[in-house]
Structure 1
Amino acid sequence: MGAEPIKFEIPDEYRVFLPFNRFPPEIRQQIWHESVSTPGMHFVKLESRGRHWRWISLNRLAQLITQQQNPEKDDDYDEIAHEVKNEVTPKRLWDTRLVPVSPNQKSDISSYHDLNKQMAALTTVCHESKAVADSLMAKQGALKLSNGKLVALGGSSDIVFLEYFPPELFESGCGYDIDPNCPSLDNIRRVAVRYCHQWQEKPLPTVCSLCGLVHDTTGGVIYPIHLYHFLARHLPNVEEFYFVDYFLLRKSAQSGASPGKLPTRKYKCGNRTFYEANDEHWNVKPQVTKMQTWLQDRFIRYAKASQLSRHKNPEKVRFGVLACEWDIVPPLSLKAQPMPPVPKGRNKRMLYEEQALRRNRRRVLRQKSRNAQLMKSSTFTANVPFVFGNPNNSVDFTFSLDWRQT
C-alpha cells in the first residue's frame, strides 16, 4: 500500500490570494485551466437505441462461414491479409449512444461528476473565469454523453473506460460486424477496457455458439478479434489503449520490488485509484502481457491493411495495463460491545421500602416543628433541617430583622 496522504488545514485568511488580479492575463488563464486539468477515469458504455443486441442474422451466417474457411496454414500464411481480403462492409446500422455504466448516479464513481461541478463553479466566480469555462466547453474534441453532459474536455488526459459489448459477446472471439453509428466515439483519445480472464479459462468449442463460426484459439486461448476491429474502425483518434486487470497485485518489498516511487500516471475516481502497471512494481501475469502484445500487433497490421479502418497512425498508439486499488475503510469489530445490565422491575418490596422512608422523613419533620421555641419579635432563631439522605443532620442559624425598615 502507498503512503498515507498528507492532510492539513488552510486558515481562512490564507484561502484568498489577493495578488491574483495583478498577474498577467496569460498566467491567470493558465491557472484557471490547471484547476480542471486533473486526470480522471470515466465509466461509459454503448447502449442500443430502442432495441436489444442481436448479434448475427441467419441471412449472413452461411456467407460468413464461407468467408472464414481458411486454407491450410504454412509459415508464410498471413491471417490479417486473408481477413482483409474477404471482409465486407457491415450493412447493419445499429444506432447506439454513450450512457453511464451505472444508471444510478450515487453508484457512478466517474470523475466527470466533479468536472461538471468545477465547470459550473468557474462560470460563477468572475467574468474571466466564465470566459475560460466557455472556451473549454467550445473546444473541439469534447466528449459528451447522449444527454449532453460533459465527460471529458478536448485535449484532456482523462481515460474513458468503455463497454461496447454485452459480457457474453466480449468474452468471445467474434469479429465486430456492425456499425454502431455513434459520432461521439470519434472524440475518445484514451480508452480502457476490462481484461477478460475468461479468454484463458473458457472452454474451447469447435463452433462459436454466438455467431456459428470457428475462431482462432491458438494455444488454448480465445483471442478477441472484435477488439482490434472496434479500435481501428470506430476510434479514429485513439492515442492510448489500456487493459484494466482487476486481479493485478502490487509486489511486496520481499519479492525484490524497487523501493522507489510508483509511476506518476494514476487516475483517481471515487474510492478507486488506477495505476499504470509495470513489471518492476506489479505482478503482471504473462498471459496479460502476451494478450497486449497480440492486440497491438494485430491492430497495427489491420489498421494499415483494411479499407474499413479509419485510424491514420496506428503505430503511434500507446498500449498499457492498468492496476486498480480500493481505498476501503477497515470494518468495525464484529465482537459485540458489552451492554449495561437491564434494571430490574419495581416489585412490591421496593415500593414498600420507599414508602416507609418517606413516612419516616415526614414524621421527623413534624417532630422538629413541634419543638420550635418562640423568640422575641426583633430576633428569630430557626432550626431548619439540612438533610442529605440522613434526616438527623441539621444546621442551626440565627438572623435578625428590623421591623421598622420593612
Structure 2
Amino acid sequence: MDRRMLLCVALLFFDSANGQVSYTMPEEMDKGSLVGDIAHDLGLDTKRFISGKARIYTRNSEEYMELSRDRGVLLVKERIDREALCKQTTPCALHFQIILENPMEFYSITVQITDINDNPPTFEREKTEFKISESAVIGSKFVLEKAADLDVGINDLQKYELKPTDNFALKLQNNADGLKHVEMVLQKALDREKQEQINLVLTAVDGGEPQMSGTMQIVITVLDANDNAPVFTQKQYKATVAENSPKGTVVATVTASDADEGVNSKITYSITNTLDDVRKLFMINNRNGEITLIGNIDFEESRNFQIDIRASDDGGLTDSCKLIIDVQDVNDNKPEINIMSKSNVISENAEPNTVVTMIHIEDKDIEENGKVQCFINEKVEFTLKSSTNNFYSLVTDRTMQRIQSDKNLLEQPDSPLEST
C-alpha cells in the first residue's frame, strides 16, 4: 500500500470497536497457562481462527500472550511480573488485538494483571543513625526513612511498628497523596549520663496473606544541648520542568531556618527518597537547598516526581518537606503509521466497503501534541474509515475495475504513506 496516500495531522477520531473481550489473571502464572477461551468469548468458531490465520497484534516490545489457533484459546507466553510491567500503576493491564483475514477483522483484548504478595516492605538501609541532644524537648520529631513495597493494594505496606517505646513513640501521618509520613517523637527526656546510646527497631508490615515485613535498626547517640530544630518555609514546594531540559537545570530551591546559633544552626539538606529513580535524576546542594537536574527525564515515562527533602542541624534535629515537580510535555514524538494487515490483490468485482488494509496510528505525546488525523491525499478508488481510537480501515468506495492504473497502484512495492 502506498504510504504517501496517508497524511497525519492533529485531530483524534473515536468510534466503536469491532469487539472487545477482557480477562483477569494473577501475575507469575506459569508459561502455557490458560487465560481464556477467546474463540468462544468472541462468538467465533475455532475453524474461523484457522481459516482467518488469527494472530496477535501488539505494539509492545515483548509479547506476554500467545494464541493457539487450533484450540481458539489464549495462553501465557512468558511469566508476567506485575511490578516489572506496571510498577505502582493500577490497574495493570495488557492491551492487544486479535487480527483475522478473509475477511479482515480485528478484536480488542484486555488482560488485567492482578497483584500477589510476592514482595516484602524494604528499607533502603539496614541501619540509620541519629545524634540527639539530651536537652531535646518532649515532642521533638525526627523524620524516619520510609519503606517501599513493590506490591499494590492490600499487599502494599500497611503499618509501621517501633520497639522499644521507652523514650520514643511512632507517629504516622496520612498525606493528601495517600502516602504515610513516618516520624519518631520524643516522649521521655533523654539523659546522656544514664544512657549514651539507644537502639530501636523500626518494622514495616504489609497486609498480604501471609504478612511480610522488613526492618531497619535505629541507633541514637545522645549529645549535649540543641534547643531548636530546623523549620522549612513551606511544607510543600512545587515546580515545573520541561522534559527536554538539559542536565544542570536548576529546578527549585527549598529553604529552612534554625533559631539556634553557632554549629547548632548549621543546616544540611538531603534527599530521602528510597527505591525510586529520584536521586538518579535530581540532586540537592546540601548547603543552600538548590535542586538540580542531573539526568534525562521523559514525559512519556514519568509525568511528575515527588522529592522528599530533609533539613538536619548538627545537633541531630530535623524537619522535612516535599517538592512536587510536574514534567511538561514537548512535541518530541512524531505519529507512527503501522500497517496491521493488508491485501496485495483485490478482485475487480469486490463490493464497495471491502477492507483492504487495517492501520494503527500511534503518537506517544499527549493532548494537542498527541492528537492525530489521517486522510488520503490522493484521488483513488479507496476511502479511509475510522473504527476506534487511532485504528483505521482502508476500504473500496466503489466497484473496482481491472485497469492498468489500479493494478500499478496495488502492486507498487514501496509504501508511499506520509505522517506529520
Which TM-score applies when normalising by structure 1? Answer: 0.21
Compare the two structures and name the one with the higher helix fraction: 1
Which TM-score applies when normalising by structure 2? Answer: 0.21
Q: Which has the higher contact order (CA 8 A, sep 6+)?
A: 2
